[in-house]
Amino acid sequence: MKISITGANSSVGINLLSHLSQKDDVVTIAGVRSESAFASLPQSTSINPAIIAYDDPESLNQALAGADCLIHLAGILIESKHSNYASANVAATAAAVKAAQHCNVRHIIFISVVGASAGSRNAYFRSKGVGEELVLNSGIPATVLRTPILMGPGTAGAKSLISAVSNGQTKVLGGGGYCMRPLDIDDLSQAMAKLACEPARDSHIHELVGPEPITYRDLIKKAGKLMGKEVEVSSVPILMAKLGAAITSTLSQGGITPTVIDVITVDEVVTENANEKIGTSLTPLEDTLRKILASEP
């Protein structure tokens, strides 16, 4: 089984590569955009790094040649001077789909987000929704995994949580009253590995979230307790935060924008958790938090 991965240096990619490298019958092509990303990949005889450029179809065709499955991970929430939703979430997906068609790849797995919709008024959710449509209309059996905030060593969610907890006091948007369904990154990797190794005949959209709904405020308190700390959580008014974000993101051409704030503070609600359908287990939230805290230096 040969699996090509784009955005292989992402936090999800690094974790997925480690999982896949433990499978005897799997060879991966780890697609990254730079030499420094190349150097950050886990080392294994079954992992073959490849430098790709999304505006260079030949580089993508080479990375996908002979692949049974493409797992497309490249994508962003926070825009920067160098990367925006149009390039990272839409154009890169279009280019990856085109290469998958060219190379007769038999299955595409696309990591999307809970709330994605091509008709959304939120630019991030819209770009992920457009990405989903590109994959689902590719003519190749596709699995879209809509995921919530991901928790594991190196994820943006875990970094913010640790920084919120470590000082013993923190200010969070709207007091952190929004509901999350944090998913352990190992569970996501297991689900992707399982799906990639099974034959795919049809296309599906799955929502895969963690086992326990929790407000961000309670998540901070829970992580604090595990660290033996009582964390004081106070509130930053969302409207004020959006105003500040609008100014700073315009000046710096990226970073936290009002769009990002809307994404962070929306309730992560799903109709059906796909873990049983996929046949993957979910790590209890407390165990996930213990893993994150143990990985901190």
Ligand X SMILES: NC(=O)c1ccc[n+]([C@@H]2O[C@H](COP(=O)([O-])OP(=O)(O)OC[C@H]3O[C@@H](n4cnc5c(N)ncnc54)[C@H](OP(=O)(O)O)[C@@H]3O)[C@@H](O)[C@H]2O)c1
Positions that interact with ligand X (CB under 6 A): 7, 9-12, 33-34, 37, 54, 73-76, 83, 87-88, 92, 111, 113, 147, 149-150, 155-157
Measure CA 207 to chain center: 13
Q: Would you say 74 and 6 are in contact if contact means Cβ atoms under 8 Å apart?
A: yes
- The letter for the amino acid at 196 is A
Site of tokens 């959006």: 242
> Interior CA angle at 61 toward 60 and 67, to 5°?
100
In angstroms, give the least distance from the CB of 87 to ligand X: 4
In the complex with ligand X, the residue whose CB is nearer, 82 or 201, is 82
Residue environment code for 35-52, b if the CB has 16+ CB neighbours within 10 A, otherwise e: eebbeebbeeeebebbeb
CB-nearest residue to ligand X: 75
In the complex with ligand X, the residue whose CB is nearer, 29 or 149, is 149
In angstroms, give the least distance from the CB of 232 to ligand X: 25
In the complex with ligand X, the residue whose CB is nearer, 10 or 138, is 10
CA–CA dist 27, 68 (Å, integer): 10
In angstroms, give the least distance from the CB of 73 to ligand X: 5
In angstroms, give the least distance from the CB of 230 to ligand X: 27
Closest CA to 53 of 45, 43, 63: 63
CA–CA dist 187, 14 (Å, integer): 14
Secondary structure class of 284 (helix, strand, coil) = coil
In angstroms, give the least distance from the CB of 246 to ligand X: 22
Secondary structure class of 20 (helix, strand, coil) = helix
In the complex with ligand X, the residue whose CB is nearer, 7 or 224, is 7
In the complex with ligand X, the residue whose CB is nearer, 94 or 245, is 94
In the complex with ligand X, the residue whose CB is nearer, 154 or 229, is 154
In angstroms, give the least distance from the CB of 130 to ligand X: 13
